Structure 1
């Protein structure tokens, strides 16, 4: 009996141990699941909105929703290149919080409808001061404590509404500056056309800021509500104190409000919504998106929206710094283009008439096309195919409304900024990747219009910037002639870019089965040859009589005054992404071509010229990663049979020019282009030629990358033997099939393939 009891007890203990073990395993699994959920839920911890706000990154730290119409951020700098976003990390003053900003551009605009809380009396406009230790920027949230006023300010946003929460921690009079006339880049010609401020009641104000700057005719209607009643202390119209009234209008209007009922440490909340159409639209935007006063809910909703957006790419690595740079870059790539319509679908078109958008064809603005066709839009064709289709269709709609494809559309305005007709690159790439729902015939019509020379289309317009969409450059290109440097500036940059754009048009014509146009534009795509000087090995300016421009110095730059845009001959010689073989042939052999590339990356980084372009930054030799014309060049080594040099350079660029600091973007962010370059290359590949749906393997930073596709499939990249030292590709597989070349097609992404890249510490000629 004793023995059986021991057996029974032993059996019971064993059962208990098994149950405990099962419970432990189940707990561990649940814990692992929880950790995975936490990891996913905490992607926002890897986003630092301050990255890019230092040096010349020109980003802003304030809250914004993905592609949101409203960007609420502090304005710390009003004029100059580093005021392009209204903010620079080195500053310690805040002029106020305005509701529209550009992310990383080289030209400034916006900064509409500014608010600044302050206390006490003032003879001049108040300016707040602050310490960096008292400033916080997170996804969907910004906060700061002022030094010179006992005020804490917090900001959050929906797509079209900004919500402010101010805490006045003293018994001093609690006041607010509401500045409709506030301008960024006044010294660059940004000015007010008309301001209007209308007091509806003691908790509601509405109005209009109509300005003229980079956007020639820009209207921002606003609607503001206050959680506590205000008293209008003073309105100033065109520098004069205005008599008491319900409505104030002029070219420069601002007002001081006070809040007598607000007690010490109570919070004042303010909601401000904007509209490109009218004040009714602004009011409807607020009533629809933010009918209540729940600041914390707005912040949490923004976090949820952003967390969902960032799930577009999931990376695995033990390097926390790389995670921070990567997800901040992905965040920056999802700010522009920006939605540009009211919640009811009304928007202001390129003809400045009011139109109605359909649910499947929303209207957008802020297309930095010359920058973003290179990496941002190719990235989005992978992670957001629907929006990519919307953008192409929206560009075509702008053509229908305004007679031209835009170069850099801003707030329903043509700006004619940068070079050539880059919209055709976006269109060609979307069609090459078989994005659905694009009118191919309309795409070809719009592209041909951009590439034609029909000066009569713009001779009656009073908008000089719209005239820039039909430039004299087109005349020479239409005749298959070089653009003469002694007749027109920027000749080489325009000549090279337009050769590529004409190749894109040939691809659009191919999609339309128009063989005759394919032939015409393939021939025009060879026009880059006009600028190649075999003696020096550079693309050079040539005069109308066929002579080379002399003297010639490939390191010389003169911003906006020379044959090269934002660069020099060293940087521009390589812009032939559509015909690398043809470029190699101009040098005579791959060996000579590679030697020239070697010299690009090893020669002195000195840029010569008294007016050298400030855009030339991020130098390795004369390679300038801080500006877009260089972004594809490292991959030319792969095309010349030396892929290890591509891998080594990409590794260097990823590590040296992108860091988790305010100075962590080496040049203008340019509406997501700099960041998208990092995202693509950190995953391990890059598209050298938008319009050709082929990617080249580079140097993956992460052990594993997963991109969940809308089809339910997952595109996966696995880097074996990956480490900081193992930066060279040894072998490359697609779905376990070894590949002979380090390239793959977009179809492999759509199919949900698995790429396996085996890494090592020694170069290998793949």
Structure 2
């Protein structure tokens, strides 16, 4: 049995199945089971501060300024706080943002900027709020947020000198090239400051306007512009690095200073309008409560029943993390900055977004949202098409109206194909096809991006070889296998779009292109392997070898990448000659040594079972491939191990970069008991469900229920699946089965089901 093939699972074999007593629990308060510290340790790169669902403001402490683990500005291991800034990324592998920083402190001003020290016992984070008491300053700081504004509450003790650092020039990832273009700061009166922070980094042109109001009058102790103190009593200041020290002499001991800050990507007036529309008062507790109510509504889209409190926390924190990005990127009056860098106004009923981590999130986050938030999923697809219209290409990791060109291929095509496969009338089919064809072509002249510095990353040479009908030569260009495999899948997505648009000729072309994965299959080794321009295989070859960003494989090796053929599993299996041969090779992925080779192994290779790497996205579908060859019990064993070992309630409880919700979305879908292997094909396949009862509350007013019989930690294996009372012969069902409402009943047991 597979249990002996994969001894790492460590599951006790039970000869006789024992019905388990039904677990019961009262309806939970979902907010009590979100821990924003999960993912802030290890390399999860999340932040603990408050944010609204998909909010433009992410108000959070900055504890780490440079390096990979500073991508979100916070790491749980730190004990210093540089201040609280208003924009952050959740779970990325690259850092940016950290805009408009404030730090309350007491005492005198020194040559060095103040840094707060704190103990973990004095730091608390919940949905809608963050609170910390400093060790070296007599201050307690509390934060909350609306969609476009942050609200600070600083309670000072009996210290004589009560001050706040306002740092416009503050940067995250300065060592990685994030720098200021210009800072502007204007003193309106002794309670109001406004300004601009314009930076160049991962987002090449990033403008954040801000408007700040203070509940108590301030005086300016110092104004530092580009390293020099400005002694003139001016109202307007401009430079590349501006910060100021504000003093609050009228603030009484043990009283609170409140500061509210609105931001805008458009202009100063937009920042002011956003602030006054969303926080027209000084009621901190009301803002916090409104934030929590918004989250409660979103988190209750899925209600689960379990007596395992840790699983409740992991699940609802995962839900929380899936609803931070994409982020709203427009003012309250509907104005936004488009991919052409021009100012536009949204049409009625529309919303503009940014931070689409598409290479990560097309796999699970967006499929999850097509189930639990149909309306927003359709909005996002239309927003991607809008970005295409404004910029000339579908976006690759758009950040604050910038094409970053990050990661590989043209993954937006997967989002478009998936939304149309589930909601055929949701978006313009012909425009979706047109946009996808533009991104799959090799025609740099079509890019309407002016001086956009990353044009070459948006239409790379890999596209040229694919369009010429040849393999991507590994001796001419790096990342050949990752581009070759992913683009074959994206080309299959384009084939689906062409079929839906009734364009048979284009569908035929992209059907052929979708088979390009076979060009890289090396029968001798059973791996997808680099091939030189003359057709010879790259040598030497080791499937364990990894060199981050400089090999044939992106953020991985041959072991992890060789399985990326989600759209044609049958054709993929045939390359091995039989299902048995395929199963043997797949088994070896999970049992081989986890040892890596190379001097510059990718840090993204984490969460290893053998050479399977759950900490990075290319592996996320692999465990479910067993269902396609009649060995679903192996899927159930592996998914059980991943769910229980790689997701915990601790700060290091996410085994790799959260990647804007993808890691969490995998957990949500898999813990519910199913997964979508190939977005664009609206088919789900069964895994290993964790919860006794699940209610998915759909936008159409219906409810899809999942009930698990004989559920326990020991009952790992699916014995029987019924959909609306009908027995399923295979572990597959359709998206419409969910959207029509009804009930999925899964019976579990201790023995593998061999058919």
Shorter chain as normaliser: what TM range?
A: over 0.9
Corresponding position of 2:442: 453
Pairwise mapping of residues 108-187 of structure 1 onto structure 2 (< 5 A)?
108-123=95-110, 124-187=112-175
1:752 match: 741
Distance 1:436 1:134, change over 3 A: farther
Conserved in 2, the CA contact under 8 Å of 1:458 and 1:467? no
Work out the CA distance in 2 between the residues paired with 1:228 and 1:484. Answer: 65
Aligned with residue 224 of structure 2, among 223, 236, 239: 236
Output aligned runs, 1:242-261, within 5 Å.
242-244=230-232, 245-261=234-250
Corresponding residue for residue 61 of structure 2:
74
| Aligned position for 2:395 | 406
In the TM superposition, residue 608 of structure 1 has moved relative to its aligned partner by 1.1
> Is 1:217–2:201 an aligned residue pair?
no
* 1:598 aligned residue (547, 567, 587): 587
SS in 2 for 1:700: coil
Tell me the distance in 2 between the aligned counterparts of 1:287 and 1:420: 42
Partner of 1:491: 480
Contact 2:391 2:448 in 1 (8 A): no
1:143 aligned counterpart, secondary structure:
strand
**Which of 254, 257, 275 is the equivalent residue of 2:264?**
275
Q: Distance in 2 between matches of 1:314 and 1:682?
A: 13
CA contact (8 A) 2:392 2:447 kept: no
- Following the alignment from structure 1 to structure 2, what is the Cα–Cα distance between the partners of residues 371 and 164? 33
1:45-124 equivalence runs, <5 A: 45-123=32-110, 124=112
1:435 Cα deviation (Å)?
Answer: 5.5
Match of 2:336 in 1: 347
Unaligned 5+ segments in structure 2 are 1-24
* Matched residue, 2:596: 607
| Conserved 8 A contact 1:385-1:435 | no
* Secondary structure class of the residue paired with 1:529: helix
Aligned residue for 1:163, secondary structure, equals strand
In 2, are the aligned partners of 1:503 and 1:578 still within 8 Å (CA)? yes
CA contact under 8 A between 2:489 and 2:514: conserved in structure 1? Answer: yes
CA distance in 1, matches of 2:388, 2:717: 45
Of 239-248 and 613-622, deviating more is: 239-248
Q: Per-residue displacement from partner, 1:12-64 (whole Å, max 9, x unpaired)? A: xxxxxxxxxxxxxxxxxxxxxxx96xx35x21110000000000000000000
Shift of 1:575: 0.4
| CA distance in structure 2 between the partners assigned to 1:459 and 1:435 by the alignment | 29
Residues 329 and 742 of structure 1, relative CA distance in 2, 3 Å threshold: same
Cα deviation per residue 1:437-477 (whole Å; 9 max; x = unaligned)? 31111101100000111122349843221332111111111
**Cα root mean square deviation, aligned:** 1.0
Q: Answer yes or no: is the 8 Å Cα contact 2:138–2:159 preserved in 1.
A: no
Matching of residue 718 in structure 1 with residue 707 in structure 2: yes
| Aligned counterpart in structure 2 of residue 293 of structure 1, from 272, 277, 282 | 282
**Conserved 8 A contact 2:51-2:59:** yes
Residue 313 (structure 1) aligned to one of 302, 308, 322: 302
Within 2, Cα distance between the matches of 1:460 and 1:114? 31
> Which residues in structure 2 correspond to 1:321-720 (within 5 Å)?
321-434=310-423, 436-458=425-447, 461-720=450-709
**Secondary structure of the equivalent of 2:124?**
strand
SS in 2 for 1:601: helix
Deviations 1:123-149, CA, capped at 9 Å, x for gaps: 210000000000000000000000010
For 2:10, the equivalent position in structure 1 comes to none
Label 1:460 to 1:248 Cα distance change in 2 as closer, same or farther (>3 A).
closer
Are the equivalent residues in 2 in contact too, given 1:720–1:757 (CA < 8 A)? yes
Q: Are residue 738 (structure 1) and residue 740 (structure 2) matched?
A: no
Aligned-residue offset at 1:710:
2.1
Which secondary structure state, in structure 2, belongs to the residue aligned with residue 731 of structure 1?
Answer: strand
CA contact (8 A) 2:420 2:426 kept: no
Which stretch of the first structure deviates more once superposed, 686-695 or 463-472?
463-472
Structure 1 distance, partners of 2:121, 2:447, is 53
Q: Which has the larger radius of gyration?
A: 1
Structure with more contact order per residue of length (Cα contacts < 8 Å, sep ≥ 6): 2
Cα distance in 1, alignment partners of residues 484 and 186 from structure 2: 51
Q: Distance in 2 between matches of 1:56 and 1:435?
A: 39
State how far apart, in whole Å, the 2-side matches of 1:359 and 1:724 are: 50
Per-residue deviation, 1:401:
0.4
Q: Tell me how far apart the structure 1 counterparts of residues 754 and 161 of structure 2 sit (CA, whole Å).
A: 73
The equivalent residue for 1:29 is none
Counterpart Cα distance in 2 of 1:466 and 1:338: 24
| Structure 2 SS opposite 1:324 | helix
For the residues of structure 1 that align with 2:449 and 2:257, how far apart are their CA atoms?
Answer: 51
Is 1:200 the counterpart of 2:152? The answer is no
Tell me what 1:22 maps to. none
Q: Aligned pair count?
A: 729
Once the two structures are TM-superposed, the CA of residue 540 in structure 1 deviates from its matched residue by 0.6
8 Å Cα contact 1:399/1:406 also seen in 2: yes
Q: Deviations over 1:146-175 (max 9, x none)?
A: 001000000000000100000111232000
**CA–CA separation in structure 2 for the residues paired with 1:81 and 1:460:** 29
Q: Which runs of 5+ in 1 are unaligned?
A: 1-34
Q: Judge conservation of contact 1:389–1:436 (CA < 8 Å) in 2.
A: no
Partners of 2:444 and 2:122 in 1: how far apart? 55
Question: Is the partner of 2:42 in helix, strand or coil?
Answer: coil
Contact kept, 8 Å, 1:224 with 1:271, in 2: the verdict is yes
CA deviations 1:546-582 (Å, max 9, x no partner) are: 0111100100000011000000000000000001111
Q: SS where residue 132 of structure 1 aligns?
A: strand
For 1:665 and 1:754, how far apart are their aligned partners in 2? 31
What is the DSSP-based 3-state SS (H/G/I as helix, E as strand, rest coil) of the residue aligned with 2:546?
coil
8 A Cα contact 2:717 2:750, kept in partner? yes
Please identify runs of 4+ aligned residues in structure 1 that moved more than 4 A. none
CA displacement, residues 385-408 of structure 1 (integer Å, 9 cap, x when unaligned):
000000000000000001110010
- Quick one: structure 1 residues 598 and 285, their matched pair in 2 at CA, closer, same or farther if it must change by over 3 Å? same
Q: In 2, distance between residues paired with 1:472 and 1:43?
A: 48
Distance 1:710 1:608 in 2: 48
Can you list the C-alpha shifts for 1:272-324, whole angstroms capped at 9, x where unaligned? 01000001000000111100000001111111111111110000111111000
State the alpha-carbon separation in 1 of the partners of residues 658 and 373 from structure 2.
20
Return the alpha-carbon distance in structure 2 between the equivalents of residues 484 and 621 of structure 1. Answer: 29
